[in-house]
Amino acid sequence: MNRRRRIYEGKGKILYEGPEPGTLVQHFKDDATAFNNKKHEIIDGKGVLNNRISEYIFEHLNTIGIPTHFIRRLNMREQLIREVEIIPLEVVVRNVAAGSLSKRLGIDEGTALPRSIIEFYYKADELDDPMVSEEHVTAFGWATPQEIDDIMSLAIRVNDFLTGLFLGVGIRLVDFKIECGRHWENEMMRIVVADEISPDSCRLWDIETNDKMDKDRFRRDLGGMLEAYQEVARRLGIMNENETVTHSGPRLVQ
């Protein structure tokens, strides 16, 4: 598996050189991290679930004409993607107050926001991904004003799609994060959605019970992270009831 050249290793994923120029293989690890790696655990099977959930979402985004880096899933843990130049921003879209917004502004978690809010965070682990404004983004050259417009319009389209998708399966999309990249085709460059969209990068609450079905289960030591991700996959119709995602060996048939 590791004969391929490793291009990059992050907290949750590894990128390998792809089979053709301009492609990469994105490998999903089982590592769960939070608070910039201060909290770290291996959750057996998480990578498999995120690979499948992210595939499902990116496939749909491609289908409705929202450009992404995704080409196709290769196996349980890997997908083939287009090589892009990642814009060093975490683009967060919020529909409901939670997490750092609630903390920073003193708004109760669960309060519906008057409208969707887009925020930018500068991707820099050593700085703990500080929030930045469009002024910082353009002044420091991380993206041009035109690129910011494109990123915001992608973020809104992704939010509209995801909100409906999850609502249809009884899940409230509280907030999520995307990353965008520049993809060149001949002389043309366009901004595409990159990275992943999974319960690691979204807040997903059950419509009826408000149960958390996302990485907050891990961040807040609530337990049942894998089960929650599995339930998201099950509701989306991605995984069969008895499909297994863990490494546990063969089991005796009772």
Binders in 74-93 for ligand TMP, by CB under 6 A:
90, 92
**Nearest distance from C-beta of residue 98 to ligand TMP, angstroms:** 6
Residue 34's binding partner among ligand TMP, ligand ASP, none (Cβ under 5 to 8 angstroms by kind) is ligand ASP
Considering the rule CB under 6 A, would residue 198 count as an interface residue with ligand TMP?
no
Considering the rule CB under 6 A, would residue 201 count as an interface residue with ligand TMP?
yes
10 vs 170 by CB, closer to ligand ASP: 10
180 vs 239 by CB, closer to ligand ASP: 180
Give the side-chain half-sphere CA count within 13 A for 242: 1
Binders in 95-114 for ligand TMP, by CB under 6 A:
98-101
Residue 37's binding partner among ligand ASP, ligand TMP, none (Cβ under 5 to 8 angstroms by kind) is ligand ASP
Query: What string of H, E and C letters represents the secondary structure of the chain?
Result: CCCCCEEEECCCEEEEECCCCCEEEEEECCEEEECCCCEEEECCCHHHHHHHHHHHHHHHHHHCCCCECEEEEEECCEEEEECCEECCEEEEEEEECCHHHHHHHCCCCCCEEEEEEEEEEECCHHHCCCEECHHHHHHCCCCCHHHHHHHHHHHHHHHHHHHHHHHCCCEEEEEEEEEEEEEEECCEEEEEEECCCCCCCEEEEECCCCCECCCHHHHCCCCCHHHHHHHHHHHCCCCCCCCCCCCCCCCCCC
Considering the rule CB under 6 A, would residue 202 count as an interface residue with ligand TMP?
yes
The single residue among 177, 183, 212, 217 that binds ligand TMP, judged by CB under 6 A, is 177
123/243 Cα distance (integer angstroms):
35
Q: Give the bridge partners for 39, in sequence order.
A: 34
Residue 90's binding partner among ligand ASP, ligand TMP, none (Cβ under 5 to 8 angstroms by kind) is ligand TMP
Binders in 127-166 for ligand TMP, by CB under 6 A:
129
83 vs 214 by CB, closer to ligand TMP: 214
131/114 Cα distance (integer angstroms):
21
Considering the rule CB under 6 A, would residue 176 count as an interface residue with ligand TMP?
yes
47/33 Cα distance (integer angstroms):
12
Residue 100's binding partner among ligand ASP, ligand TMP, none (Cβ under 5 to 8 angstroms by kind) is ligand TMP
The single residue among 46, 203, 212, 217 that binds ligand TMP, judged by CB under 6 A, is 203
Binding site for ligand ASP (CB under 6 A): 11, 33-37, 129, 215, 219
Strands 131-132 and 13-17: unpaired
The single residue among 83, 147, 175, 179 that binds ligand TMP, judged by CB under 6 A, is 175
Interface residues toward ligand TMP, by CB under 6 A: 90, 92, 98-101, 129, 175-177, 201-203
